[in-house]
Structure 1
Amino acid sequence: MDWKKAFQKHLHMLGDFWVDGLDVYQLPFSDDEQKRLQNKKRDLLDQNAEIVRSLIQARKIHVEDKREDLVINYCLHSQWLIKKDGDFYLEERLEDRQGVFRENHLAADKLVPILPVQEPVTGRDTADEGSLSARSRKYDRLQAVRYADLWWNRRNPQYPKVSDDCTNFISQCLHAGGISMWGDPIRNRGWWQQQTNWSFSWTVANSLRWYLSRQGSIIGAVEKSSADQLVPGDVICYDFEGDGHWNHNTMVTAMDPSGSPLVNAHTYDACHRSWTYTDSPAWTKKIEYKFFHILDSV
C-alpha cells in the first residue's frame, strides 16, 4: 500500500509544478523530459498565458512485481485550464507511462515510446488523378471537428488499428467531414482504407503530407504560409528533425483567445493542444511545419 501513497504524492507534485511553480528537478523525470515540461511553461509565458488549474490523474494502472523493483504501467491524464488574454480554454493530454518504485520510492517515471508506422519505399503517390479535379465534393468541417473531439482519446473500431495512430486519426476526421475515399486496392495510389488494407497516405504521416500537396487530389487542400491562416477542420504537418521526412499530423479543432490554432491528435493523444508542439518529446529546434487549408468545396 505504501507505493500507492508515494504514487499519489508524485501526481500531486506534478500538478503543483504546473500551477504553483514546483521545481521540475524534484520530479523523477529524465533530463530530456524535464526540458520538455519547461518548454511548455516557457511557450505559455511567451504567449502571456498561464495554467491556472490542473487535474492530474492516473488510469489503466497495471502493476508488475519484480525482484527488486515494482513497475507501474499507467496512462497519465493531464487536464490544464489555461488563461490567456482574459479568457480560458481547456487542454487535455493522455500519455502511456511507466513508473519504477524501489523500496516504496518512485525512482523513475518515463514516457512509453510508440513504434512508428512502417514506411513505404516511396512516400509519394505516383498515380494520375487528373480526372478527379472535375469531381465535386463538399467538406463539412464542423463534422470533422466534432469527430476529432469525440474520438481524440479513444479508437474507433470501424477503422484500422495501428500503433502510431496520428495519421490514421486525421484521415478519419477528414472522412467524417465528407471526403470520399479513392484509389483502392493499390496502396501507393489515392487515399483510402479497408479494415485489413489501406493506402500509405491514410496511415503514414510522410505520405499524407505529400498527398495533401498533390494538385487535384481527392482531399482538396491548399497550402498556407502560416498557422494564423487556418481554421478548424484544417491540417498541420510536422517534420520534427527538419530533414524533409514528415513525422506527424494534427487537425485544428479550435482557436485560443488570441486566434492561434489548437489541435487534436493521436499517438500521444491530445485535445486542444498548442499547434507548435514545443513540449513534444520529438520537438527539435529544426522543426518544420506545413499548413493545409481543406477547401470547403471542389
Structure 2
Amino acid sequence: MIEIDWEASFQAHVGKLCEWWVNRPADFDIVLNADERLRLQRRSLRLKSTNCEIEKAIGRTRVARIEEKREDQVVDYRLHMQWLIKQSGRFYLEERIEDRQAVLRGSSIVADGLRTPSLKKEEGTPASAPSASGKDPKAGHFRGSYNRLNAVRYAEVWWNRRNPAFPKIENDCTNFISQCLFAGGIQMNGQPIRNRGWWQQYSNWSFSWAVANNLRWYLSRSGNLIGAVETDKPDKLVPGDVICYDFEGDGRWDHNTLVTALAPSGQPLVSAHTYDARHRDWAYTDSPAWTDRIQYKFFHIRDGK
C-alpha cells in the first residue's frame, strides 16, 4: 500500500535529518529544498563559531493534510525538533515547531521545506513607522514592578501553544511577547486609543501590543510604561528582556523575542511565536527571513516601578 510506503519513507527522512544534526557529515544526501539547505548550513556555521555541538536530535511529526496532485502526494506536516546542545561542557535543550510541506513521488520524497507564514502587513499597522522621539503620554504613571521570573514562566508554558484568554493573531510574535510582559506584572494603559500606550482589551489592542514594528519603537520611547532601556550588546541581557529584529535592515522591524535563558557562554537564548521556538540562539541566522542586512535592538526591562 502507498500509505505504508509513505510512512516508512517519511520517518526515514526525519530520522536522517536528526542524524545529520549530530554528525553533520560533508556529504549532504538529505532531500531538502535549496533554501532549507542554506538555512542548515548557516546554523552549522553558527554552531561552530559558538563552540556548540549537538549531542542528540529528536524529531516528532504530525501530519495535518495530504493532497493528491497527479502522480505526487503533497503532505503538510508539523515537525517538533529537539536538540540537546553542549557548550563548554554544559548542556541546554533547544526546541522548535515548524510547519512544513513534503512532496512524495511513489514512496520517495522529492522535496521538503518550510511552509512560510504569510508576510502580509500585520493587522493594525499604521501607514508609516511611529516616531521614537518624545515621551510616552502616560510617562511617570505606575507601571507595576516587573517579575521577570513570571514572564519567563509564562513563555515556558505557552511557547508552543496559544492562550485563549488573548486575541488570536496570525503573525503572533509580538502578541506573545506582550503576553509575557503582562504576565511579568507590567500594567496596561492607554485604552481605547490604539496609538497610545500598551494594552489589549477583548478583541482590540494597541499597535504596540501586537505589531512588531510598533513595539520596537514604543520600547525606545522615553518613559515607556514597560520600563525598557536599550543596551548595546546581547550579553548584557538577562532572562525576561526583549530582542527586536529588522531582517531586511530597512528600518521596519519584523519580529520580537523574549530572552528565556542564557547559554553556557552567557549569550541569550530566546523563545518566540510564529515559528514557535524555545531557547533558540538569539542571532536567528537560520531563520528563513534572515539576511546579511539584519539589525537588532536589545532592551533590558527594569525590575523596579
Question: TM-score when scaled to structure 2?
Answer: 0.94
Q: Could you tell me the percent identity over the aligned residues?
A: 56
The residue aligned with 2:37 is 34
1:211 pairs with 2:214: no
Contact 1:125–1:190 (CA<8 Å) still a contact in 2? no
Amino acid at match of 2:252: H
- 1:54 aligned to 2:57? yes
Partner of 1:123: 129
2:172 to 148, 159, 165: 165
Distance in 2 between residues matched to 1:292 and 1:257, nearest whole Å: 21
1:200 and 1:208 in contact (8 A); partners too: yes
The question of whether the paired residues in 2 share the 8 Å contact of 1:136 and 1:297 is answered with no
Pick from 220, 242, 246 the counterpart of residue 227 of structure 2. 220
Paired position in structure 1 for 2:193: 186
Tell whether the 8 Å contact from 2:208 to 2:218 is kept in structure 1 after alignment: yes
Shift of 1:176: 0.3
The one-letter code of the counterpart of 1:15 is C
Query: Offset of 1:141 from its aligned partner?
Result: 0.3
2:262 to 245, 255, 262: 255
Structure 1 residues 156 and 136, CA gap change in structure 2 (3 angstroms): closer
Please give the secondary structure, in 2, of the residue aligned with 1:26.
Answer: coil
Bigger shift: residues 152-161 or 51-60: 51-60
Q: CA deviation at 1:129?
A: 3.4
CA distance in 2, matches of 1:64, 1:194: 40
SS of residue paired to 1:9: helix
Distance 2:68 2:278 in 1: 33
Partner residue in 2 for 1:45: 48
Q: How many residues align?
A: 298
> Structure 1 segments of 4 or more deviating over 4 A?
125-128
The separation in 2 between residues aligned to 1:115 and 1:161, in whole angstroms, is 15
The counterpart of 1:84, out of the listed 84, 87, 98, is 87
- Indicate if the aligned counterparts of 2:136 and 2:221 stay in contact, CA closer than 8 A: no
1:249 is paired with a residue whose SS is strand
Q: Give distance in 1, aligned partners of 2:9 and 2:152.
A: 39
- Per the TM alignment, residue 150 of structure 1 is displaced from its structure 2 partner at its CA by 0.6
Q: Are 2:77 and 1:70 aligned?
A: no
CA distance in 1, matches of 2:118, 2:101: 16
Output the amino acid matched with 2:100: R
- SS for the counterpart of 1:253 is strand
CA distance in 2, matches of 1:223, 1:65: 51
Residues 16 and 22 of structure 1 are in contact (CA less than 8 Å); yes or no, is this contact kept in structure 2? no
Pairs within 5 Å for 1:18-29: 18-23=21-26, 25-29=28-32
Alpha-carbon shift at residue 136 of structure 1 (Å): 5.0
Instruction: Give the 3 Å change call, closer, same or farther, for CA 201–123 of structure 1 in structure 2.
Output: farther
Does the 8 Å contact 2:72/2:104 carry over to 1? yes
Give unmatched runs, 5+ long, in structure 2: none
Q: Deviations over 1:183-236 (max 9, x none)?
A: 111111111112311111111100000000011111110000000110000000
Match of 1:271 in 2: 278
Question: Any conservation in 1 of the 2:230–2:297 contact (CA below 8 Å)?
Answer: yes
Q: Which runs of 5+ in 1 are unaligned?
A: none
Q: Which residue of 2 aligns with 1:174?
A: 181
Separation in 1, partners of 2:153, 2:270: 12
Query: Per the alignment, do residues 90 and 24 of structure 1 end up closer, same or farther by CA in structure 2, a change over 3 Å counting?
Result: farther
**Equivalent residue, structure 1, for 2:98:** 95
Aligned-partner Cα distance in 1 for 2:126–2:29: 43
The whole-number CA distance in structure 1 between the counterparts of 2:135 and 2:192 is 15
Q: CA deviation at 1:128?
A: 6.3
- Counterparts of 1:137 and 1:57, CA distance in 2: 41
Q: How far apart are 1:113 and its partner, in Å? A: 1.3
Residues 1:9 and 1:131: Cα distance change in structure 2 (over 3 Å): closer
